[in-house]
Amino acid sequence: MRVWTSFAAACALAIGAGGVAIAKDEAAPAVKSITQMSPAELEKVRTAGAQILFWSDAQRAANFRAMEAQFPGTTAQHGTPRALPKGEPLAITDAEVEAFMAAQNVAGLMVIQDGKVRLEKYGLGMKPEDRWTSFSVAKSFTSTLVGAAVKDGFIASIDDPVTKYVPELKGSGYDGVTVKQILTMTSGVKWNEDYTDPNSDVVKMLSVPVGPGEDPNTAYLKTLPREAEPGTKWVYKTGETNLIGVIVQRATGKTLTEYAQEKIVKPAGFEG
């Protein structure tokens, strides 16, 4: 299955550094990060960012297959795909698996053990070559890219202040917060991640109007107050996953797509 992956974010509405798709054999579209979007495109992103958590099941089933229509992004090209051979089938009937997937509204299910595929099924009309948004899988990618940036010398230390890489956060609640504290979501900055609250930060994080070249997620984070000393309180924050993407881009001078293609996509043998 080809997976639409928002490397900059915890979920599809988190595109502070631009969404990323992994192309299979088609040519890559023109590069477009959020800081390169037109005012009309930014408005579309703000609207989708505010609405995505409240989509109906039918809207999710339609939009999760092609999130680039809602959130324009950039495309990484795969290298040599890593083979995933078939393994011994699980001791479970197709009927049982299909009943579970239907009850849970599952689009795709795969079980891999020791590098072999023991189960692979699709629902909601999906096929193996289709794409589906990966949501919080993005956290694993962005955090891995921080490690790569440290190894490559782009980030001197995860104990560096965030403002070293994102200076526009100076004077905000992020003054004195380290990259490590962003990675561990212990910045001490106040945040509401309630997906059912239309006034929560996770809904409003792309809502700040910005000028050309500005990142709306960073602009929103800059407005938030501090509620605890950095490093003392853990709060799940999608906005800070986006911020990690911005840090990596600023430190490396590359888009997340470019750096992920180099450090993850090709070495790992992604097919799509």
Position 34 scores a pLDDT of 61
Q: Which tokens sit at 156?
A: 């001197």
Per-residue pLDDT tens over the stretch 79-126: 899 889 999 999 999 999 999 999 999 999 999 999 999 999 999 999
Per-residue pLDDT tens over the stretch 230-241: 999 999 999 999
Backbone φ and ψ for 22, nearest 5 degrees, come out as -100, 115
Span 3-32, average pLDDT: 38
Q: Which residues contact 189 (CB under 8 A, 6 or more apart)?
A: 173, 174, 177, 221, 224, 225, 226, 227, 237, 240
The answer to whether residue 35 scores a pLDDT higher than 80 is no
Position 120 scores a pLDDT of 97
Average pLDDT of every residue of the chain: 85
The answer to whether residue 265 scores a pLDDT higher than 90 is yes
SS (H, E, C) 13-68: CCCCCCEEEEECCCCCCCCCCHHHCCHHHHHHHHHHHHHHHHCCHHHHHHHCCCHH
Residue of higher predicted confidence among 188 and 131? 188
Q: Which tokens sit at 116?
A: 């072999």
Span 130-138, average pLDDT: 87
Q: How far apart are CA 57 and CA 215, in angstroms?
A: 30
The domain spans of the chain are 89-128, 137-254
Closest CA to 250 of 211, 207, 215: 215
C-beta of residue 249 within 8 angstroms of C-beta of residue 153: no
Q: What is this structure's pTM?
A: 0.80
The answer to whether residue 13 scores a pLDDT higher than 50 is no
Choosing among 1.10.287.70, 1.20.58.710, 3.40.640.10, 1.20.990.10, the CATH entry for 137-254 is 1.20.58.710
Residues marked as catalytic? 136
The region of weakest confidence among 13-17, 86-90, 198-202 is 13-17
